[in-house]
Amino acid sequence: MAPLTGSLPLAEASEAREGREGHEGHEGREAEEGEVLLGSWSSPMSETGRMERRTIALLVSRLEIRDGDGACLKRIDRHQTAEATIRETGGGAWLELTRQDGGVVRLAMCPLAGLGSLAELRDMIERWVSASPNSWAEPPLALAEKRTFGERSSGLEGAGEKLTWRRRVKALYGLLSYAAPHRKAIALSVAALLVGVGLETLPPYLMKLMIDEGVMRASMSRFGGIVALLAAVYALQAGFRVWRSSISITIGNRMMSHIRKDMFDKLMKLPVRYYEQRATAPFIGRIQNDTAWVQGFLSEGISQLAAAVVFTAAVFAILFAIDWRLALGVLVLLPVCALVVFWLWPKIRSLSNRTWNTQYWLQKYIGEALQGIRVIKAFHREEEEKRRFERYNEESVRRAIDQQRLLQWLQPGINLAVSGGVAAVWLIGGRFVIEGTASLGTLVAFTTYLAMLLGQLQWNMNLAGQANASIAAADRIFDLLGGEDELPVEGVPTPLPKDGSDIAFEGVSFGYEKGREILHDIRLTVRPGEKLGITGPTGAGKSTLLQLLGRFYDPDAGSIRIGGVDLRSAEPAGLRRHVGIVFQESFLFDGTIADNIAYGVEDATPERIMEAARLARASAFIERLPYGYDTRVGERGVRLSGGEKQRISIARTLLLNPAVLLLDEATSSVDQETERDIQAAIDYLCEGRTTIAIAHRLSTIRGADRIAVLDKGRLVELGTHEELAARGGLYRQLLEAGGM
């Protein structure tokens, strides 16, 4: 029996297939030993993060970790297993297995792209642990649902768990909370709805009167009067339909605007860690596409569903009033139709979810490719990227075709049922007319009502599909809105002191991943007005230290204080004004140069903007541009050089006028001449401010008051340039390696 293999992104699918083929021999050996292979999962990355193939094999009594050749590297008995847990990191995640004795074993590791399949492996193991021994006699696929690329799973991108009825109700309740401010308009829409439904039920009855009272009695006056009344009803129907639609469209768009605003507000409040663990391009789809689905549901869907329910109930009542015998016959057929719908609906919903997920991955890939277009062109990988796009696109098309084919069979089937039902009523009702137990007008009215009812039931299925997609979109929206905000303030927010104050790192330890520290027990005090240089080998934790001081993260242990105030209790807005950061990679928005310099100061005057540019040594190149300060820099500042962008970034920080300045490799990516200009601007920027500067080029920090040397997350040396150079420690080694 073929093993169940967890899904991987398309780029890794071929490797996964190769891995499965390589394990066929082992599957046979396990069968000889009386063990059944219940499921397996393959990845080109080992549990330690190396590019070494690993396969997790689930057998009846044990779990095995195997290498690329199929050899068993580690074996864990089922009775020793407690649970499986995913540990998320900034660059991916790993799966840990907790044993009954409390020990932890790392099973697998994957990048962000394969996180969905890692979640499937976790779920597979959870089912394996909790399954009863009797269930092992069943086919292996009974223990683990087979999935392929693109299905929704509990991945890092927020795909979430299975959309249960509880979550559907919660999403619907959340949408209704947005409807509360529009109560009066909704009440008008409901009133128009009820009147409109009443008008829609009148025409068939008027047709009955037209035949029985006008045609059959040869009364032209009655016939003409009923026709005029029928025309008036049709006109009123159109008027109320337009009125109700205009109200619903206004409500839906207003609510959509409110939801989009709340979503963007939430994106601004989410912590940095949230974005490090997720691709950003799909958020555009959430704000645009998901809200569009919801808007359609709010504008027309809810009112149409309500109208459908009221109309169906009204028509059923009229059918029984016209001829209860024919109505009973129709009622007998409805359970059969309902069974067919309930049988098909899960398939439609599953295909809809799969289609959404393939579109999600396609959108994610397009965003990544466009962001990396320079790298693609630099390495001449256009054709390879086209092939990758084709794989994603083909998967998306295949899912869409599967969904539409099912709907294609469903639609003719419903039409056939409608036609058959009407024909049956004509056959039976015609007999009643011939026998004289019913009038011709009654038969015409009944068949018209029946066609309306069956057509409405057909339309209800379309509405239900739209409602399902809209509620799934609403669930994704509220999944985002329900995320944790940026780091909370502990207690009452405390303002930071305005004058010069010291910065104290008190036993600070931190790791991006739990159990894997980047910084270890950092104890350091920076005096007011002091310039502290920080250096060390790559990966020593230098940038992480500045990230903590900017409070993009909180320490796992210890605290950071400015003027005695713990950053956890500092007022967030005051902290951002107090601490200015010049990043290694300067990010500019697609606006003018003046807009980018004044980004952090709302009331900046043109004079202050130009003065900041002059002090940042940026005014000379700005004034040479055709439009000067009104020159648009392009997306991410693509129309400017690296040095020009960096000087604008320095001018932006100068205009903010912070008390504490953080410099993260501010001159690492420019040439020497540009570095001298930028360094001169930085020297002016540092005057009178407490400054912490990271540098690999030791020449940029040798004039600092003190230099801190980090190695493997620990503070190993601290002193002036002369003191550290004389000690012969790590700093001296870095000096000699740099040729200084």
- pTM score of the predicted model: 0.61
Q: Do 92 and 200 reside in the same domain of the chain?
A: no
- Give the CATH number of the domain where residue 350 resides: 1.20.1560.10
Name the residue with higher pLDDT: 374 or 497.
497
Q: Do 371 and 419 reside in the same domain of the chain?
A: yes
Which tokens sit at 89? 């990191």
In a domain, 624, yes or no: yes
Q: Which of 675, 672, 710, 706 is nearest to 508 (CA)?
A: 710
In a domain, 225, yes or no: yes
- Calculate helix-pair angle for 202-209, 440-481, nearest 10 degrees: 180
In a domain, 4, yes or no: no
CA distance 663 to 649: 11
Give per-residue pLDDT as tens, 198-234: 888 888 888 878 887 777 766 787 878 888 888 898 8
Q: Do 311 and 450 reside in the same domain of the chain?
A: yes
- Give the CATH number of the domain where residue 698 resides: 3.40.50.300
CA distance 21 to 42: 11
Q: Do 112 and 206 reside in the same domain of the chain?
A: no
Least confident residue range of 346-355, 464-473, 545-554 = 346-355
In a domain, 569, yes or no: yes
Residue 150 has pLDDT above 50, yes or no: no
DSSP sequence for 62-105 = EEEEE-TTS-EEEEEEGGGEEEEEEEE-SSEEEEEEEETTS-EE
Give Cα 113 distance to the centre of its chain.
13
Highest average pLDDT, of 131-140, 403-412, 448-457, comes from 448-457
> Strand, coil or helix: what is 719?
strand
Q: Do 621 and 717 reside in the same domain of the chain?
A: yes
Number of Cβ within a 10 Å radius of residue 349: 16
Give per-residue pLDDT as tens, 241-266: 888 888 888 888 888 888 888 888 88
Give Cα 324 distance to the centre of its chain.
53
In a domain, 495, yes or no: no
Residue recorded with tokens 């309740």? 173
In a domain, 160, yes or no: no
Residue 32 has pLDDT above 70, yes or no: no
Mean pLDDT across 286-315: 76
Residue span of the structural domain in which 515 resides: 503-737
- The structural domain count of the chain equals 3
DSSP sequence for 163-179 = --HHHHHHHHHHHHHHH
Mean pLDDT across 440-447: 82
Q: Do 135 and 174 reside in the same domain of the chain?
A: no
> Strand, coil or helix: what is 55?
strand
Residue 396 has pLDDT above 90, yes or no: no
In a domain, 3, yes or no: no
Q: Do 380 and 526 reside in the same domain of the chain?
A: no
pLDDT band at 159 (very low <50, low <70, confident <90, very high): very low
Residue 158 has pLDDT above 80, yes or no: no
Q: Do 374 and 510 reside in the same domain of the chain?
A: no
In a domain, 494, yes or no: no
Q: Which ranges of 482-491 would DSSP assign to H, the alpha helix? A: none
Residue 504 pLDDT: 92
Q: Do 287 and 391 reside in the same domain of the chain?
A: yes
Q: What is the 3-state secondary structure of 251-267?
A: HHHHHHHHHHHHHHHHH
Give per-residue pLDDT as tens, 51-78: 677 888 888 888 888 887 788 888 888 8
Q: Do 187 and 89 reside in the same domain of the chain?
A: no
Instruction: Tell me the percentage of the chain whose pLDDT exceeds 90.
Output: 5
Which tokens sit at 277? 């663990």
Q: Do 677 and 632 reside in the same domain of the chain?
A: yes
- Give the CATH number of the domain where residue 101 resides: 2.30.29.30
* 678 close to 666: Cβ distance less than 8 angstroms: yes
Number of Cβ within a 10 Å radius of residue 729: 15
Q: Do 609 and 464 reside in the same domain of the chain?
A: no
